[in-house]
A and B are shown apart, each in its own frame.
Chain A
């Protein structure tokens, strides 16, 4: 699932009903979204926002790792990437 959330059966049942109601309500956007209307992604259009190409203040290694659930040798440590069957 794209959301990457492991839901229980009970949660799936509850959320499905609620999401059906919400989707029915929000589908009305298509009533007025005719092909001649351009899309707006950003309320105040800005283009080409650059910063000077100089080294800024960045986090130290210790700062970057200070909130990690697990770290080793100056790196984030994660669980195995592949399962047994893979």
Chain B
């Protein structure tokens, strides 16, 4: 080996070197396992590291040597968010109630990743049942932001974002119910995309809110996200919300976008109701600079109105708890998970209540209680019913906006990474973090966050979010890759090159 650090390569470059035989999958996998061993005590991105990764990699190398035709990313390592069930590693969704749970089947996205020759490295940390914006609600302790270990890596998918940001994996899988892929991307200087609702199978994704959840890619570049999306996307008969559309290649869309022509004449909507005053100064400055860079290449910035977005957080925090309280009813201490038996003469009902008290963390309890309250007789119309109407109004806002523009742009989140512990005792402040990301989930439209730069005041990463109409995910890859190419060129290299080097000399 020539001394190149394999963990610094993009998935696309690594895949190229694997295909040409320059490196083996065993070498690439070992390099990432070594990196995890060197830095994960500080980062805590992983809840479990696979015992089988090198065997899987050796099998890929063997098949390649035997002349088998392998997929474009075969042999590339992959981190998997713990919300996705796996047969060869525990799946806990960040909860004590599922500690040690071994699924008898693989999630469809995991099965597709294995079939494509991706090498699962381990399971990544997350807020318990994906409820949170900081990973501080994980039952197994928080993940730390590679840019500043005292700060949050975002959530719920902070583990996946921190894993790719700290070069522990080139690719990771995430899930996004209200921003859990995009907000971690924002605070870690990485790329995350929430596909159109139904674009990627949720079979085997431990459900949080079924009308909002989507699985998607978490990577360092837009092209890598497209490569992973191509592997996991498409119809799955085991998920009845899965769309039957024939999807274009998202990697191809990213390659096409990187040439930059897409920006000429592109109409980019900026939402009047999300004024700069609602964001940290360095976040809006980075956002405006990114828009100016696009404008210089021929994009047209158009002010649009989305009057109901301000009700999005409220509607979301009714719909999500309502659906979650129902989805989490399955944790009843009977078929799987923890069982706690209280003293005296317990009944199945007292066992269930004691188990759920011991097995769920505070945030999960809050949301289950909120959900059962919002759904209860007498309150249903005022709360859940009204929230569903807000959903219609937000969809109409999107329809009106996309009649005028090709994509919408927003800063991906209001602030850069806040400090661990800063918002943990104030759930409402934590919820308001999601103001920019939630509308996409309520309306089912796709969204991407890519790095737009560093905030002047704290030197921490900032992301820009693009939203497109439902089913137009490819447009996000084109636009995202175009802006990424412009910005990386202006910076003289990827943003992550400016993150602190961790784990000694690479």
A38 proximity list for chain B (CB < 8 A): 389, 392
A15 proximity list for chain B (CB < 8 A): 362, 365-366, 369
A21–B335 contact, CB under 8 A?
Answer: no
> Of B314, B332, B351, B357, which one neighbours A28 at CB under 8 angstroms?
B314
> Of A18, A33, A40, A66, which one neighbours B427 at CB under 8 angstroms?
A18
A69 proximity list for chain B (CB < 8 A): 333-334, 336-339
In the complex, A76 Cα to B443 Cα: how many Å? 40
In the complex, A1 Cα to B422 Cα: how many Å? 32
A42–B428 contact, CB under 8 A?
Answer: no
Q: Smallest Cβ distance from B325 to chain A, in angstroms?
A: 7
B interface, by DSSP: helix, strand, loop or mixed? helix
In the complex, A34 Cα to B334 Cα: how many Å? 43
Q: In this assembly, does B133 line the interface, its C-beta being within 8 Å of a C-beta of chain A? A: no
Residue of A nearest to B210 (CB): A42
Q: In this assembly, does A3 line the interface, its C-beta being within 8 Å of a C-beta of chain B? A: yes
Known contacts A19-B366, A29-B383, A40-B392; decide if A6 and B356 are in contact (CB<8 Å).
Answer: yes
Q: Smallest Cβ distance from A27 to chain B, in angstroms?
A: 8
Q: In this assembly, does A83 line the interface, its C-beta being within 8 Å of a C-beta of chain B? A: yes
A72 proximity list for chain B (CB < 8 A): none
Q: Smallest Cβ distance from A52 to chain B, in angstroms?
A: 9
A6–B240 contact, CB under 8 A?
Answer: no
In the complex, A80 Cα to B260 Cα: how many Å? 67
Shortest beta-carbon contacts, A-B, top 6: A43-B444, A33-B386, A69-B339, A39-B388, A67-B336, A6-B353
- With contacts A1-B372, A3-B369 known, what are 16 further pairs, Cβ within 8 A? A3-B356, A18-B427, A18-B428, A21-B428, A28-B314, A29-B315, A29-B386, A33-B386, A46-B240, A46-B241, A59-B104, A64-B335, A67-B102, A69-B333, A69-B338, A80-B348
* Residues of chain A at the chain B interface (Cβ within 8 Å): 1-8, 11, 14-15, 18-19, 21-23, 25-34, 37-44, 46, 49, 51, 59, 63-64, 66-70, 76, 78-84
